[in-house]
Structure 1
Amino acid sequence: MRQPELIVFDLDFTLWDCDGTWCDCLSPPFRRQNERVFDRASRQVRLYDDVTSILDHCDKQCIKMAIASRTEQPAWARELVELLGITHRFAFAEIYPSSKRKHFAALKASSGLRHEDMIFFDDEMRNINEVSTLGVTSIHVSNGMTANLFHKALRAFAKNGHASRH
């Protein structure tokens, strides 16, 4: 059974919730307090409930992970990834305002992997549609990453060599 060689995650509304908004709409400075992360206005940034177990699964299976985020505030996004304690999980990070096609061209170049060996999770259909044209298995995340969605995508990828677009 085949497994992906790289799993790529979007940030906003995919791996984390920024109190119902995008990270570039927050107000720095950011702070970590009692294992939680807040912006200046006390809006909490939190990983969705299943994200840690999903990242743990990838680590245990030796599947490389990456971030692809088109935020207008890449420094803020990188700081939040650090404050949430997950920076070390990702072999690659393409975090800048641009099309996801550019992110995936960079991921292909830096990883040496084919697009067909990647799975991508994102909450925006425009990104799913755009990236799927490259041959990347692209999965729509409607309410934050869940273990159910993640494992369903992995099973489909293993069974079919890829998972269909959702």
Structure 2
Amino acid sequence: MPRKHSKTAFSSADPTTTITLPAEEIPTPKTFTDGLPLPKLFVFDLDYTLWPFWVDTHPTPPLKKSTDGGLTVKDAHGGRHGFYNEVAGVLTAIKSRGFQLGAASRTCTPDLARQMLTYLSIPWEGTAQPAVELFDYLEMYPGSKTTHFQRIQKRSGVPYEEMLFFDDESRNRNVEELGVTMQLVRDGVTRAEVDKGVESWRKRNGRT
């Protein structure tokens, strides 16, 4: 099934490459400032959730750092790969408020996914922090995501009911059997999707 790409492109030479905007350009999710409860742990899928590609299919290794401050990563053919537009704003809003952050991916190339997270940066208040440094938990390997969450729960000690998960594939709703709340996203994670996810989490757990 074809995937849509974000409208903001890195250059006219590569119109399908998206980049994240600086964190301060993305408004904080409304649910983060309304005084109601929030999950303790936010978990994100990678492919078509944080970035618009399959990391085990589209980039051709070896990967190289770009000269744009980490907004994109170059692959062996010169293709450039970046985050969706609002990723920096979403991730920094979570971390700056003291919440924990995790990634749960079925990728067949976990080393490549980690390298992508290491080379891509999060622009925030004039700095460019490697994205990988924002994550408290990285679970990246094939298989049911219930396994990913069982490992995250064991390492974090956070109850499943305090976790909110963002993913683009409906089959991964099986994590809700554990008590996790999942928000299905389309065309990448955004501030609006985070608000929808938080509202679903509150409703499911009676935290409104």
TM-score by length of 2: 0.72
Q: CA deviation at 1:12?
A: 0.4
For 1:1-166, list aligned pairs within 5 A. Answer: 1-18=36-53, 22-25=54-57, 26-35=59-68, 36-84=72-120, 85-127=130-172, 129-158=173-202, 161=205
Q: Deviations over 1:63-101 (max 9, x none)?
A: 100000110001000000000120110001001112101
**How far does residue 160 in structure 1 lie from its aligned partner after superposition?**
5.5
Percent identical:
35
Distance 1:102 1:140 in 2: 19
What is the alpha-carbon distance in structure 1 between the residues aligned to residue 176 and residue 79 of structure 2?
33
Contact 2:168–2:184 (8 Å) recurs in 1: yes
Runs (4 or more) in structure 1 with deviation over 4 Å come to none
Letter matched to residue 27 of structure 1 = T
Q: Which runs of 5+ in 1 are unaligned?
A: none
Q: How much has 1:42 moved relative to structure 2?
A: 2.3
Q: Which amino acid aligns with 1:79?
A: Q
With normalisation by structure 1, the TM-score equals 0.89
- Amino acid of the structure 1 residue aligned with 2:109: Q
| Whole-angstrom CA distance in 2 between matches of 1:50 and 1:150 | 11
Counterpart of 2:40 in structure 1: which amino acid?
E
Aligned equivalents of 2:167, 2:37: Cα separation in 1: 22
What amino acid is aligned across from residue 61 of structure 2 in structure 1?
Answer: P
Structure with higher helix content: 1
Output the CA distance in 2 between the equivalents of 1:65 and 1:141.
17
Size of the aligned set, in residue pairs, is 159
Answer whether contact 1:64 1:91 (CA < 8 A) is retained: yes
Deviation digits for residues 121-156 of structure 1 (CA, Å, limit 9, x no counterpart): 0011101x2111211110001110111111232244
Task: State the shift of 1:114 in Å.
Answer: 0.9
Larger radius of gyration: 2
Q: In the alignment, residue 157 of structure 2 is paired with which amino acid?
A: G
Unaligned runs of 5+ in 2: 1-35, 121-129
